[in-house]
């Protein structure tokens, strides 16, 4: 797939208030992250952490150009969002297949039982995170950046202009709230 616009160009456009560019950059990231994640399993090679994965995506899409710190941070935030979307979409697919496919008449072996459960948990997390966004936007952002974006607490602290301790506390409290609402939901 030819990349008509470079990620760098898109980023600049986004920062200039081009909402449309933001959408295009998001799709670009979405596809790239999805491909990377996919490769992990097929390749049978070593598994990359989210941090490494996002970083690889960054290097691949924009590395040759030097970006301002803010732009890089913007990229990371968008990558975290894209990763969340990748997870949610595929979790939904599994869930939908399970329901919509009806009873599979001939199953010559069993589905690995963990996958649908994990998919359900991802969807529950997404929902709970949505609630957290309404309750404490920053804490929700911390979860998105740390879990989905693989950003360290130090990096998030830098991005938010706060100290690391505050970010860690956000994460901790968020985990309590997410767990509680995931329990209530499930």
Cβ closer to other proteins: 65 or 89?
89
Does 157 bind other proteins (CB under 8 A)? Our answer is: no
Cβ closer to other proteins: 84 or 141?
84
Binding to other proteins, residues 10-29 (CB under 8 A): none
Does 177 bind other proteins (CB under 8 A)? Our answer is: yes
Does 178 bind other proteins (CB under 8 A)? Our answer is: yes
3-state secondary structure the chain: CCCCCCHHHHHHHHHCCCHHHHHHHHHHHHHHHHHHHHHHHHHCCCCCCHHHHHHHHHHHHHCCCCCCHHHHHHHHHHHHHHHHHHHHHHHHHHHHHHHHCCCCCCCCCCCCCHHHHHHHHHHHHHHHHHHHHHHCHHHHHHHHHHHHCCCCHHHHHHHHCCCHHHHHHHHHHHHHHHHHHHHHHC
Does 55 bind other proteins (CB under 8 A)? Our answer is: no
Q: Residue 16 CB, nearest distance to other proteins (Å)?
A: 30
Does 63 bind other proteins (CB under 8 A)? Our answer is: no
- List residues near other proteins by CB under 8 A: 33-34, 36-38, 40-44, 47-50, 52-53, 83-84, 86-87, 90-91, 93-94, 97, 101, 104-116, 118-119, 121-122, 125, 131, 134-136, 139, 143, 147-148, 150, 169-170, 172-173, 175-180, 182
């Amino acid at each position: 797939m030819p990349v008509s616009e470079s990620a760098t160009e898109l980023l600049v456009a986004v920062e200039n208030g081009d909402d449309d560019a933001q959408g295009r950059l998001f799709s670009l990231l979405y596809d790239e992250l999805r491909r990377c994640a996919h490769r992990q399993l097929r390749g049978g090679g070593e598994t990359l952490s989210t941090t490494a994965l996002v970083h690889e995506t960054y290097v691949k899409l924009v590395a040759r150009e030097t970006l301002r710190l803010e732009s890089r941070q913007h990229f990371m935030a968008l990558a975290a969002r894209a990763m969340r979307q990748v997870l949610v979409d595929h979790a939904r697919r599994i869930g939908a297949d399970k329901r919509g496919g009806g009873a599979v008449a001939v199953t010559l072996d069993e589905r690995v039982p963990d996958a649908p459960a994990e998919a359900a948990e991802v969807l529950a997390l997404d929902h709970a995170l949505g609630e957290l966004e309404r309750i404490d936007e920053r804490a929700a952002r911390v979860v998105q950046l740390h879990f989905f974006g693989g950003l360290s607490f130090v990096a998030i602290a830098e991005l938010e202009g706060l100290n690391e301790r505050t970010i860690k506390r956000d994460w901790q409290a968020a985990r309590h709230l997410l767990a509680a609402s995931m329990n209530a939901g499930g």
